[in-house]
Amino acid sequence: MPLKETAYAKLNLALHVRRRREDGYHALETLFAFVDAGDVLRASPADQDSVTTLGEFAGVLDNPLDNLVARALNALPRPQGLSVTLEKNLPVAAGLGGGSADAGAVFRMVEALHGLPDDWPVRAAKIGADVPACVLSRTHIGLGTGTEQAEVEDDLAGTPVLLVNPRLPLATGPVFKAWDGVDRGPLPQGPASRIAREGRNDLEAPAIGLCPVIAEVLAALRATGPWLARMSGSGATCFALYETSAARDAARAAMPQAWWTMAGRLR
């Protein structure tokens, strides 16, 4: 039987940019959460590694040998290859960690078959800053460049969530470059719900400056009565958290048909 693994969509329920580090990266404090939906990977043992992409956003990955699935396979020693099919359901350059989530799913599949080396977090971080978090795919706090994990009381599991993207890619680099450099303080203390409510996304304003339709997405979501609506990561995807699945589904129906949407629950 081929292995099947979901690459869970990553959300930054809060994202505080504190300062620029000496190595040029930004020091971050973020509350990671994951949706119970995303890309889907299937894998079977093979003589050598291979990656096939399909799905709505497969065409965006113009080099299947250089995507994060292939890089994750190359990062992990194994006694046999894997033939991987990636169903690309998440938009690319969208603030959802789609490629990182795909790599995280590869790590979990290799773990199920062969186990992971003790230094897997280091190997994952070399692929991308969000990859260690996406291997875990559970609510936690990310520190440093996002590769360091800290535990948090997760009182949000099962929360209905709606993701909305205006179908416009937004690269991370320009958004960080447009950040005003002001340290607005650390994440709040407490359980995940309090951090989400009282936190912020410091990249929201610079992202809106580069992609103004993000403000329209946020306004549309806030008009549907969620208890929180915010941009994820460096955008352009925004999310809204609801008290009930019915409220989430009604909100999804109210979004413009031209926008990409995904409904789910927090894991």
- What is the SS3 string spanning 105-152? HHHHHHHHHHCCCCCHHHHHHHHCCCHHHHHHCCCEEEEECCCEEECC
Is 10 a known active-site residue? yes
Is 130 a known active-site residue? yes
Point out the catalytic residue in the list 4, 10, 88, 177.
10
CA atoms 93, 98, 100, 106: torsion sign:
negative
CB 59 within 8 A of CB 111: no
CB 92 within 8 A of CB 169: yes
- Nearest in space to 39 (alpha carbons), one of 100, 95, 81: 100
Point out the catalytic residue in the list 49, 102, 130, 202.
130
CA atoms 103, 105, 106, 108: torsion sign:
positive
- Report the length, in residues, of the chain: 267
What Å distances lie between residue 105 and 21, 65, 67, 147, 183, CA to CA? 30, 17, 13, 17, 34
Catalytic residue numbers read 10, 130
